[in-house]
Amino acid sequence: MQLRDKLQRDIVILDGGFGTTVEQFGYDVKHELWSSNLIQSNPEAVYKVHKAFVDSGAEIILTNTYQASVQSFLNIGIDRATARTYLATAVELATRAAGNQAIVAGSLGPYGAMLGNGSEYTGDYEETEADYIQYHKERLDILIEAGVSVFAFETIPNIEEIKAVRTLLLDYPHIEAWISVTLKDHDHLSDGTPLEAVIEVVNEIENVLAFGVNCTSVNVIDAAVDKLIALSAKPLILYPNSGRQYDAVHKVWIDQEDASLVEAAPRWKEKGVKIIGGCCQVGPGEIKELGTALK
């Protein structure tokens, strides 16, 4: 009941972008697994980043497992048993940092994140429902075994993957989850699916307690928020990027004009958004400012 209880509150602060904060802290994340590689190479760095967000006022923190799955570890030569251990370690690090100040949600990034070709930003991949289910189910089971009961299926750019999550969650009535998507513009999912069709699917999933948008600019979310509120039967969760866009081809961040998260967030709160945090390039300092602006 952790997430359900949080959603009874006026506003809840989520953490920021883990991978980009790791970079800002000076750790090397140039790896196929991005920041998830630190689970094996530098677990204390993972703990420090989590703790920085908790100390900045985050009331929900996400495990450093966005890009981590058994398959993604297998892809770099790590055996299945060790991969399972690393995923459990990610939970332990987040739980230790959270203490009694925050709840831990398991981060489950999209299938495209495992492909490593930038398709996680476009939704340009076509797999079977069984492929999507297998990808998410294996790590979901591992994180549940490690003690997680709240899950974020996040940064999902593809409507067929959302439908697969709907099917998967029929077998997990005891967990609490949210689904968060990326937007191409204020009317469409990254793969071009109209928002109406996306939210219609999410509204059907009983144990998805919130719906949201992340890894998308403040400007796009600002333009979409009224439609999101009107269409969603679930409370809203918003955690945008900070105003820089990731070029997946050249693997660099590009500055772009964007509104301020800290300035936009009070407007979103007034409209009824329940959980607000940050994604890429939003660090502990911004989360502290966000908390001050919202509380």
CA distances from 292 to 40, 58, 254, 273, 295 (A): 35, 11, 28, 16, 6
Cβ(162)–Cβ(117) below 8 Å: no
Among positive and negative, which fits the CA dihedral 130, 81, 169, 271? negative
For residues 33 and 86, give the distance between their C-alpha atoms in angstroms, rounded to a whole number: 12
Cβ(61)–Cβ(94) below 8 Å: yes
For residues 40 and 21, give the distance between their C-alpha atoms in angstroms, rounded to a whole number: 18
Q: Which residue has the tokens 């750790």?
A: 27
Buried b (16+ CB within 10 A) or exposed e, 163-188: bbbbebbeeeeebbbbbbbbbbebeb
Tokens of 24: 């800002």
Q: Is 280 labeled as ligand-binding?
A: yes
Q: Is 179 labeled as ligand-binding?
A: no
Element housing 180 (H / E): strand 176-181
For residues 3 and 235, give the distance between their C-alpha atoms in angstroms, rounded to a whole number: 11
Q: Is 215 labeled as ligand-binding?
A: yes
For residues 263 and 269, give the distance between their C-alpha atoms in angstroms, rounded to a whole number: 11
Which residues lie below 8 Å from residue 192, measured CB to CB, with a gap of 6+?
123, 184
- Binding site: which residues? 215, 279-280
- Binding site for Zn(2+): which residues? 215, 279-280
